[in-house]
Structures are given as structure tokens and as C-alpha cells.
Amino acid sequence: MDKNKSVKVLQGNEACVEGALLAGVRFFAGYPITPASEIAEGMAVRLPKLGGVFMQMEDEIASMAAVIGASIAGSKSMTASSGPGICLKQENIGFAAITEVPCVIVNSQRGGPSTGLPTKPSQGDVMQARWGTHGDHPMIALAPSDVNEVLHITIKAINFSEKYRTPVMLLLDEVISHMREKVNIPTREEIEIIDRKKPTVDKDNFLPFKADEDLVPPMANFGSGYRYHLTGLVHNEKGYPTSNNKEVDQLIRRLTNKVELNKKDIIIEEEYLLDDARVAIVAYGSVARAAERTVKLAREKGIKVGLLKLVTLWPFSDETINRLAGQVDLIIVPELNLGQMAREVQRAAEGKCRVIPYGRVDGELINPVEILSKIEEESK
Amino acid sequence: MNNSITQYFRKEMFPHIWCPGCGIGIILGAILRAIHSLGWEKDDIAMVSGIGCSSRITGYVDFNTMNTTHGRALPFATGIKMANPSLKVITVMGDGDCAAIGGNHFIHSARRNIDITAIIINNMIYGMTGGQYSPLTPTGKFGSTAPYGNIDQTFDLAALAASAGASYVSRSTIFDVNQATRFIKKALLKKGFSVVEIISDCPISFGRINQLRTPVQMLEWIKNITVPKKVWDKLSEEEKEGKFPTGEFLDIDIPEYTERYQETCNRIQ
Ligand SMILES: Cc1ncc(C[n+]2csc(CCOP(=O)(O)OP(=O)(O)O)c2C)c(N)n1
Ligand code: SF4
């Protein structure tokens, strides 16, 4: 199948598996949870055939740990879970962030908090995706909005994790995970695959955490002959624990900056009919699909509405939002939570226009007509 | 051949953080002597630890090393081993690290019988955080969070590992470091999940509050509370009270996890 381009009807979770395997994922560890289990089931079928490793661990903490271990030993690695499991992974996500180990965490979001609404979609974890683990740390989070996009954005997620040596969150939700749609499966040659940078210096002069100009240090896999120490303690360029203020400051800032200063490369967003818009919808994930339809309905009625669809949620599209806020009268942010991203949009808009949240947390999707009604109500 | 174990040290990491009289250094010596006697290449060894005084060992040795999160050394090590089965993977854990927060991982690593050697430094206390009682603190002993005496039952990690599916299980002490070295060597050679628990001292966090203030007092106490397995088996339940058996409890050859996994791959590919 890798050789011929093909079109298949796939579920979102299956598309995620296809994308991950195409991107080179060869290690998956997980623990069952709705609505993410099909990703593990798909990996369990496929990975052993490809010489990769699938493991069902004893819990999500162990899954996250195993994924990081496997990545250090050289495998592109991934795990998938949902709310309660993502909570358990947080400490080790922080470990991956500070030790700069590439890995991808898929969160098929369901209603929360706690066990919440296991079989209903939600976008309630977007802030957790950014700040779930403690301390200042970098984070890349991507949110595809249809099944075809799930495949391509999964590849991006793996690539970003390798390129920037950082954990990447792929945010799906119950609907995208389980919906079936046509997917164009690309060939290996059609997609870009990025592998972690390898050290070029000789073994005696290797400093495992000395970054290149792009702020990312080359990575040596365990067993490659470059011996070094990895620790969750703040460490210096040699990888040894330090509490020297200068070295501490340097590491924490570099970790954040390697993502923030490479925003141009990481931010994926799409503008739809924004040129003459007076009202902008900012949406992401499954809600962005409804919003696209809202734009059409509004324009049929003569209301100039456009859409900014965010695929990259973190780092945040501050610059685009700020520009947009200077152009339109109103930004509306529909999302399946009580205004988590709307607050970010408000911050980035710097008061240049009104920003209105439109949140739904009853387990139902947001439909195009209700977004339109909200726009009509607010623009009266 | 250079016979000094200092060849395995990252000299720039010294001085180490351990207190004078701490047993962790003795165990580090035993581990390195066992590795040296096997002639293993540094490049081929991955040593993974959790969090605690014991877990700091990984910082000082010149292998592929990793000081992970509290209790999680084994699942990190499992990922490494599965991604690169040719690596020789060793975990070093404290008793709290292994038996409390990491207890479930310990059980499941044994159940899988994955080819990892787990060395448990059992100082019977949470050393690094200042002497709170652990699942291996003997009943009746004191800790900073057991000021009236510990009422918990003590975990028998050796019995736990054996019943959960490990291939090799032994217990030794820093009092008999030659035995400890021998056991570690056997564990390293075992194809499967191998466990060596080594009873150690912590004069600071355990000793002070339990009237065993000096390393010598602690060593004597360790000598007195441990009984070779052969003797242990003949003791009455009353005589066993407050004592711990040492020796080899399990040494069997059963299918190992990475090999089983490979067999599955071969069968379906
Ligand atoms: C998740 C988490 N909880 C608590 C701690 C604090 N902590 C650090 S070391 C330690 C106990 C260490 O005791 P043990 O594992 O017995 O090792 P020792 O220090 O005695 O060698 C604890 C509780 C932590 N680092 N992480
Ligand atoms: S606190 Fe105890 S275990 Fe930790 S270094 Fe000191 S003596 Fe050793």
C-alpha cells in the first residue's frame, strides 16, 4: 500500500495510525480508553508486521515512560489516550520536554473533568495540552478538523517532534476519532519525513545538550556509541544536574524559545474568505468544519463573515489574530469548552475588536446555524 | 587489563551527593565489579533509575544512563529494551521508588519477564526526602512520618517478584558485599527479569530516628536482622519476626519477553 497512492474510507483513529506509520513510527505503547482505543488496536495489528513494537502497558504512566525510553533508543514513538489517561501522562511529558526526547501524544478528547462524558466530543483539554505538566516548558499541539487532515497532521506531529526534539500533542476528539471519511493515502515519496539530527562531532567532544543555531541539540540514540546522561533535573550542556543560575536560566529559556522562535515553521492555519470580512470566526478541530459552513450561510444572507482555522493551537497564532482584530469588527470563537481558546484570542486581539466566546459543553457538537445566530445576535 | 572500577566513573561528576557512611557507594562498587567481571562494553549498557538517593547512581557511571521520574525506571527501561533488545538494560531503584510509587511497574515487569536486571537498594526508608517510612520500613520502626512507630506490614519484594513471574530473585546486604556482587553478576547474566534486593544502611534518615546513629551500628543491625535462607526455613514463625531471609530464592529459565515478541513478529511477517 505504501507504493501505490490510494483512497480509503477510514475512521479518524485509523487515519492517525496510517499517518503515524507513514511518518516512521515504530513504537507504540498505550492503555485502553474510549475514544482512543482504535489507535492502539490498529497499532497492535500493524506494528509487528513492520518489525515495530506495540505494547499494552499497565497504565498510562508506564505507556508514556516506555514511549520516551523507546525514542531514546532510536524509535519514533507514539502513545494515544483521552482525558483521564492524559492526566496520568503529564509528569512524564514534562520529562520528555526537559530531556528533549521526541514523542507524540494523541489525545482524543472526551468530556471532562474526571471520567466525564466518555463517548462525547469535547475540546476541553486545549489548555491542559499547553500547561498540563508543571513548569515552563515548550509545547506543540495540533488539531486536525477532518479525517483526511488527521493523516497529514499526524505526519506533521511526528516530524515536529523529531525536528524540535519535543513532545507534540495531537488533539482529536470523539467525533473526529470515530467519523469515517475518504482519505487520500499518500506514498512515501509524496510526504516529507523529518528525522532527528544526529551528532556530527566525535564521541569525546559530544555535549548532549549543546544546541545548534536552531536551538535544538543533535540527538544521540542510546547504543549508538555516544554515551551520556539524561535527567529530569535541570542540567547543563553536558547533561549533568546543575543549579547554577546562569545554566538554569539558559536551559529553560532555550526550551521555550526553540518552539516560540520557530513559530513560522510550526504554525499551520487556514484563512477562508477573510479578505472582506467584518466578522471573523476563529475555530479549530471539528468545530472548524461547522464554522466553514456558517461562513457560506452568512454570505448567502449578505453578512461578510470569514474563518480563521487554527490547526496549530500551540504555539499560538498571536500575530495573525492581532492583524485580524485590526481588520474586523467582531471575532467569535466557537469551541467545545467554556472559552479556553477565546481567552487567548482576546489576549492576542489586544482590544482592537470585540471577541465573543461561544462555548458548548453538553456533549453535542456545535452546528453551523447556531454560530450564525450568535453572529446575528452580536452584530445587531 | 585495567582492573580498577574507577574506569566506569564519570570523574567530573564527583564529589558525589551521598552522606558519609551511606551504603549506596558500596552497592555501586558491587554493581561495577559485577559488570567488570563480565567484560561488558560501556556502550552496550543502559542504566536507568528513578528518583531518590539510590537513583543518583546513574549520574556517576559512564554508560548510557537515565535518571527518570519517581518510580518509573522500569517502564522507561522497558521502552529502551524493546526498541533495542541488544542493549543490556539495568535499573537501579530505592525501596520507595520500587515498592511504593513504582510497585505496579515492578509487578508487571516481572510478569512480562522482560530481560532487565532490577537492583533495589533497600535502605528501608525514604532517604532523599528525609526519613519518611516506606513500604519496606520494618513494622515497629520509626520514620519522620511514623513518629509513634510504623504499623504497616513490610513488603516482601523477593516473594512478590517470584510470584509475579520473574526469572531470578535474590536478596543480599551491604554487610556481605561479595555475595551481593555474585548475585548481581548472576542477575545480569540471566535472560529474563532478574531482581537483586540489597539491604543497605541510611545512617542519616533511618539511623538517627531509630537509635542506629553510626554506620557501624547500622551494619551490625543489618547483620543481626538478616538470616541465610537455609537457616530461615528452619525458624519458627516467632523467630522469623523482625528478620529477613537472604540468598537466592528463584533461578529458572522461562520464555523471555523480547524473544517472545520477536517470535510473534516472525510468525506473522
Ligand atoms: C512523583 C513524585 N513524588 C514524590 C517525590 C519526592 N521524592 C523524591 S525521592 C523520594 C523517596 C526516595 O526514597 P527511596 O525510593 O526509598 O530512595 P532513597 O532516597 O532512600 O534511596 C520521594 C518521595 C518525587 N520526586 N516525585
Ligand atoms: S540520606 Fe541516607 S540514603 Fe541518602 S545519601 Fe544520606 S545516608 Fe544515603
Burial of A378 (0-12, 13-18, 19+ CB in 10 A): middle
Q: pLDDT band for A3, please (50, 70, 90 cuts).
A: low
Q: Given the C-alpha cell 536552531, which residue does it identify?
A: A214
Angle of helix B257-268 versus helix B73-83 axis, rounded to 10: 40
Can you tell me the mean pLDDT for B24-35? 98
> For residue B266, which amino acid is it?
N
Residue A54 CA to residue B151 CA, distance in Å, equals: 42
Task: Calculate what percentage of chain A has a pLDDT beyond 90.
Answer: 98
State whether the Cα torsion B257-B262-B267-B269 is positive or negative. positive
Domain boundaries in chain B? 3-268
Q: pLDDT band for A2, please (50, 70, 90 cuts).
A: very low
Element (H, E) at A334: strand A330-335
pLDDT of A19-52, one tens digit each? Answer: 999 999 999 999 999 999 999 999 999 999 999 9
Q: pLDDT averaged over chain A?
A: 97
Please identify, by atom number, the ligand 2 atom nearest to the C-alpha of residue B130: 1
B64 → chain A, closest CA residue = A227
> For residue B223, which amino acid is it?
K
pLDDT of B94-150, one tens digit each? Answer: 999 999 999 999 999 999 999 999 999 999 999 999 999 999 999 999 999 999 999
Q: pLDDT band for A4, please (50, 70, 90 cuts).
A: low
State whether the Cα torsion A30-A140-A356-A340 is positive or negative. positive
Residue from A228, A246, A249, A253 nearest A238 by CA: A228
A245 φ, ψ to 5°? -50, -45
Output the CA torsion B59→B60→B61→B67 (10° steps): -20
Q: Please give the grid coordinates belonging to residue A293.
A: 459552513
Can you tell me the mean pLDDT for A334-362? 98
State whether the Cα torsion B86-B92-B96-B97 is positive or negative. negative
> Per the confidence metrics, is the pTM higher than 0.95?
yes
pLDDT of B54-105, one tens digit each? Answer: 999 999 999 999 999 999 999 999 999 999 999 999 999 999 999 999 999 9
Residue B262 CA to residue B82 CA, distance in Å, equals: 10
Fold of domain B3-268: Rossmann fold (3.40.50)
pLDDT of A166-177, one tens digit each? Answer: 999 999 999 999
Structural domains in chain A, sorted by start: 6-190 (3.40.50.970), 270-379 (3.40.50.920)
Q: pLDDT band for A5, please (50, 70, 90 cuts).
A: low
Residue A168 CA to residue A160 CA, distance in Å, equals: 7
Q: What angle do CA B145, B148, B149 make, to 5 degrees?
A: 80
> For residue B171, which amino acid is it?
R
A106 pLDDT exceeds 90? yes
Q: Say whether residue A211 is in contact with chain B using an 8 A CB cutoff.
A: no
What per-residue confidence (pLDDT) applies to B70? Answer: 98
What per-residue confidence (pLDDT) applies to B1? Answer: 59
Contact between residue A82 and residue A108 where contact means Cβ atoms under 8 Å apart: yes
Query: ipTM score of the complex?
Result: 0.98
Please identify, by atom number, the ligand 2 atom nearest to the C-alpha of residue B52: 4
Q: Say whether residue B105 is in contact with chain A using an 8 A CB cutoff.
A: yes
B54 Cβ partners below 8 Å, 6+ apart? B24, B27, B92, B93, B94, B97, B121, B123, B127, B200
Q: Is B134 in the pocket of ligand 1 (CB under 6 A)?
A: yes
- How many contacts (CB atoms, under 8 Å) link A and B? 136
Site residues for ligand 2, CB cut-off 6 Å: B 18-19, 22, 24, 53, 123, 127-128, 202-205
What per-residue confidence (pLDDT) applies to B2? Answer: 75
Q: Say whether residue A204 is in contact with chain B using an 8 A CB cutoff.
A: no
Contact between residue A194 and residue A163 where contact means Cβ atoms under 8 Å apart: yes
State whether the Cα torsion A54-A56-A57-A60 is positive or negative. positive
Which alpha helices (H) appear in chain B, and where do they start and end? 24-38, 57-60, 73-83, 95-96, 103-112, 157-164, 177-189, 215-225, 229-232, 237-240, 257-268
What per-residue confidence (pLDDT) applies to A159? Answer: 98
Q: Which residues pair with B120 in a beta bridge?
A: B93, B197
Read out DSSP for A5-60?
-EEEEEEHHHHHHHHHHHHTEEEEEE---TTTHHHHHHHHHHGGGGT-EEEE-SSH
Q: What 3-state class would DSSP assign to B94?
A: strand
A238 with B44: Cβ contact below 8 A: no
Residue B72 CA to residue A94 CA, distance in Å, equals: 14
A92 with B72: Cβ contact below 8 A: yes
